[in-house]
A and B are shown apart, each in its own frame.
Chain A
Amino acid sequence: MIAVSLLEVKQLNLSLRTHTGLAHILKDVSLRVEAGERVALVGETGCGKSLTLKAILGLLEGKGLVVSGKVLFEGEEILGTPRILRLRGVQIGFIPQDPAASLNPTFSIADQLLAVVRRVRRNLPKEKAWALIKEALVEVAVPDPDRVLASYPFQLSGGLCQRVLIATALVNRPKLVLADEPGTALDVTVQAQTLRAMRHLTEKSGSSVILVTHNLGVVREFADRVYVMYAGTIVEHGPVKSVFQTPRHPYTRALLDSVPRLTGGGLPQGLDGHIPDYTSPPKGCRFRPRCAFARPECAEEQPLRQVAEGHEVACVLYAEVPRG
């Protein structure tokens, strides 16, 4: 029997209708997360990291959206099926990118946390539920949890909002946590602390994580494997060690060359230009216009080629390393 991955995204394509035309944002995005595994998704701003997470959760339905591909959770299709509705908040936790704007200003923190707890434990008595959410806040190192629970979002700092959101995502012990740049709102030490707490908690419950981040330092510390995304495509992926030691794709290399000295983020240094216009992206490799090694063949589709154990790169510069 072949073991099924916890999450498998296959050939996900996503286009959005915008006022300038159909934007072909995600192109053939495939990724895989095993049970208990921590996977990072990195790439510069606007490359489609958040959209990838939202597509997995099925949050993007609506007019003017064209999606194709497969999203399998424990081997079962969830893309465009009602199954995802049951998984959200229960088996799949989500940590949004903008903590301050992501909490409802008209409900207390306790109300918002309880709503998520009640997804699973509908009839939990009030005191027990309260104890549970309080414990959830303690776990992410929230000082004075009772005060925080009674507060409204606008009474809390960005860092506290962030921790509340992490606690909410983890409270039902989901099998998979989708974390969109947690900690960006925090200062460096608190960010490290929060990530450590998150790592500890997900390890304890055996949850898998997809962590979106700009910060390569975080990737190195947190993740087992990493996917490097450029303009809606996965250009390279593999074990963190392998990718960091021998990055292959020119984009990955540029990204690593510019390893942020402090908080990270932003454009890789020494890399001119910016992400292509998604309404008319370059054919073949989307990085081609900015690549120092570009050749005519780059205009053809570049499949991922295995260059080392579990390490694949979509670049014409590398030939498939024969297995074995």
Chain B
Amino acid sequence: MGRALFRRLVWSLGVLFGVSLLIFVLARVIPGDPARIALGPMATEEQVEALRRALYLDRPLPLQYVEFLRRVVRGDLGFSTYTKRPVVEDLREYLPATLELVFVSGFIMVALGLPLGIVAAHFRDRWPDALARVLALLGVVTPSFVWAIFLVLIFSYALGWLPVMGRLSEGLSPPPRVTGFLTIDAVLARDWVVFVDALRHLALPALALSLSGLGQAARLARTNLLETFAKPYIELARAYGLSPFAIALKYALRPAMAPTLTIMGLDFAAMLGSAFLVEAVFNWPGLARYMVQATLYKDLNAIVGTALVVAAFFLAVNLLVDLVVVWLNPRLRIQEREGI
């Protein structure tokens, strides 16, 4: 397993390297002078020139990239010309908000999507199945920002149950920062008021973000389960008198899970992308806003830094899913062990 993991890690780093190169070049070929945009029309030519030098923009592109790489390995993503702070610091501030949203969405996707699919498969072609399938399809075909707007209209404006804006109600002070996840930090600080408030703020955006993945998860779980239910080994499990419960949740679920998980992992990773639109609707102080500003200001370091983080997240999720799939599938596990 170790060797396979190592191979995958190296491969992921390679991909990350490729992504960085691509984004690095792309960000620089968009028209506009970053230094001039950053300093505004009032700045003198000398000031602009100084900033260009500070950003290494006066060097040839390959040298700029080498310089960039040299800094990246030291964990330095450069200065943001928009916030005037190191990009790493900006990320530390905005990334946890987005990650918290995405993780809660991922949790909702798994916690509701899989059971929905299991129920649908269990009641195949009866009304619970029909209902689950309609719900799942609705989730898949409706973009998450549309859900976001719907949910806000229903649960905030019409019913007034849940808040719409930001991560925390006004008047509440955030708990001491440990992880940057408000819920976790609140638990660590034993501040239950903040914890509940943070959850209430998370509810709608996380649900909106999760619904398409949730629908997809339910559909996949249903299809793969039904396919597995038709297998001779499931009939044999019944012939052995194993309980229907054990058959559905153990002997059928495990073989059905691997193909389901692979796609769910992709859906989860893609949530980071959709999160940007959902963040906009809920005024969520996450990476989305930062990324939009960075692009508008042609904030080169911020653009490249954010893109790298998003790509790294995507790769990490995929790596994790691959590992889980291998763990679930003995055939792959054995191949890995034997290093085939």
Residues of A within 8 A of B (CB): 54, 57, 59, 63, 85-90, 94, 96, 98, 101-108, 115-116, 119, 152, 154-155, 165, 168
Q: Using Cβ atoms and an 8 Å threshold, which residues of chain A touch B242?
A: 89, 115-116, 119
Interface centre among A98, A101, A102 (most CB of B within 10 A): A102
Q: Assess whether B255 is interfacial by the CB under 8 Å rule.
A: yes
Pick the contact of B233: A86, A90, A101, A155 (CB < 8 A): A101
Q: How large is the interface on B (under 10, 10 to 19, 20 to 34, 35 or more residues)?
A: 20 to 34
| Chain-A contact segment, one of B54-62, B135-143, B152-160, B323-331 | B323-331
Q: Using Cβ atoms and an 8 Å threshold, which residues of chain A touch B236?
A: 94, 96, 102-103, 165
Q: Using Cβ atoms and an 8 Å threshold, which residues of chain B touch A154?
A: 330-331
A104 touches B237 (CB 8 A): yes
Q: Assess whether B42 is interfacial by the CB under 8 Å rule.
A: no
Closest residue on chain A to residue B246 by CB atoms:
A115
Pick the contact of B239: A88, A107, A115 (CB < 8 A): A88
CB distance from A6 to the nearest CB of B (A): 18
Pick the contact of B331: A57, A86, A88, A152 (CB < 8 A): A152
Q: Assess whether B41 is interfacial by the CB under 8 Å rule.
A: no
CB distance from B106 to the nearest CB of A (A): 24
B233 touches A102 (CB 8 A): yes
Pick the contact of A89: B125, B241, B329, B331 (CB < 8 A): B241
A86 touches B241 (CB 8 A): yes
- Could you pull out 27 A-B pairs where Cβ atoms are within 8 angstroms? A57-B239, A85-B241, A88-B239, A88-B240, A88-B241, A89-B241, A90-B241, A96-B232, A96-B236, A101-B231, A104-B254, A104-B255, A105-B233, A106-B254, A106-B255, A106-B328, A107-B251, A107-B254, A115-B240, A115-B246, A116-B242, A119-B242, A152-B330, A152-B331, A152-B334, A155-B334, A168-B240
B240 touches A89 (CB 8 A): yes
CB distance from A172 to the nearest CB of B (A): 9
Closest residue on chain A to residue B252 by CB atoms:
A104
Closest residue on chain A to residue B328 by CB atoms:
A106
Give the number of residue pairs across the A-B interface with Cβ within 8 Å. Answer: 71
CB distance from A48 to the nearest CB of B (A): 17
Residues of B within 8 A of A (CB): 125, 231-233, 235-242, 246, 251, 254-255, 328-331, 334
Closest residue on chain B to residue A153 by CB atoms:
B233
Give Cα A71 to B236, complex, Å: 20
A103 touches B331 (CB 8 A): no
Apart from A90-B241, A107-B330, list 6 A-B contacts with CB within 8 A. A59-B239, A89-B241, A94-B236, A94-B240, A96-B239, A155-B334
Q: Using Cβ atoms and an 8 Å threshold, which residues of chain B touch A155?
A: 334
B235 touches A105 (CB 8 A): no
Q: Using Cβ atoms and an 8 Å threshold, which residues of chain A touch B251?
A: 104, 107
CB distance from B305 to the nearest CB of A (A): 42
Give Cα A115 to B242, complex, Å: 8
CB distance from B327 to the nearest CB of A (A): 11
CB distance from A179 to the nearest CB of B (A): 12
CB distance from A63 to the nearest CB of B (A): 8
Give Cα A98 to B235, complex, Å: 12
Closest residue on chain B to residue A57 by CB atoms:
B239
A94 touches B239 (CB 8 A): yes
Q: Using Cβ atoms and an 8 Å threshold, which residues of chain B touch A165?
A: 236
Q: Using Cβ atoms and an 8 Å threshold, which residues of chain A touch B255?
A: 104-106
B330 touches A88 (CB 8 A): no
- Closest 3 pairs between A and B when the two form their complex, measured CB to CB: A88-B241, A89-B241, A89-B240
